[in-house]
Amino acid sequence: MSEKQQFLFVRHGETVGNSEQIAHGQTESPLNDRGIRQAQSTAAMLRGWSTKYHRVYTSPLSRAHHTGEYIAQALGLPIKTHDNLVEGFLGDWEGITYQELNEVGFARRSIEDDNFSGHNGESPNQLADRMASVLEEIRAQHPRENIIFVSHGAAIAHLLARLMDSTPAFGHQYIMHNSAITEITFHGADDKPELSTLNFHEHLPEDLRGKPTGRPR
């Protein structure tokens, strides 16, 4: 695994839950019309992307898999789901509003404690461990291929924090906009990756851009 290997992380397009400001975690919430158009715009943009990618892996949740299907079709790539690319589990707080999530201090408590699981959900470290395990597994299976992962905001952010040795494990500084992309490059088997692109969403038309939480600008 000595050759350069690149990974592109794509956050799914906007969902019904995003527009209604509901925290779904591992609960299903399909792409809305804006999310479909965002996914299509990202897929079209990636046709001209400088890196050649070989396959797409997605979360099994429909919002990520649907986004991945647009990308795979545009690039002519095989697509496969991986259960462990799913979003972080919010436990007792699945399905509450963003405002309620803020009121119970989810982000604050998760940033303060990498092992916070008082909501009976995944802790930041558990989510980071799960995502890092997926990356290690896929690298071993496809050591000479560049891979696209289509996943979720928190899942990707926690993974990036782990890969970049950032603290806290919550990875809030890596939260991405809907249908944004982040690219990393490994130059060897055990090296720390180079972060070359973070939260790129400038390809989206102005009317399809939003804040990373999914709220309109």
Q: What is the pLDDT of residue 79?
A: 98
Name the CATH superfamily for 5-208.
Phosphoglycerate mutase-like (3.40.50.1240)
Taking the CA of residue 107 as centre, how many other CA atoms within 13 Å lie in the half-sphere pointing to its CB? 14
Mean pLDDT of the chain: 94
Domain residue limits, the chain: 5-208
Structure tokens at 194: 């180079």
CA distance 3 to 5: 6
| Residue 20, C-beta contacts closer than 8 angstroms, at least 6 positions apart | none
Lowest pLDDT segment from 3-12, 74-83, 189-198, 206-215: 206-215
Taking the CA of residue 176 as centre, how many other CA atoms within 13 Å lie in the half-sphere pointing to its CB? 31
Mean pLDDT of 69-95: 98
Residue 3: pLDDT band (50, 70, 90) is confident
Give the length of the chain.
217
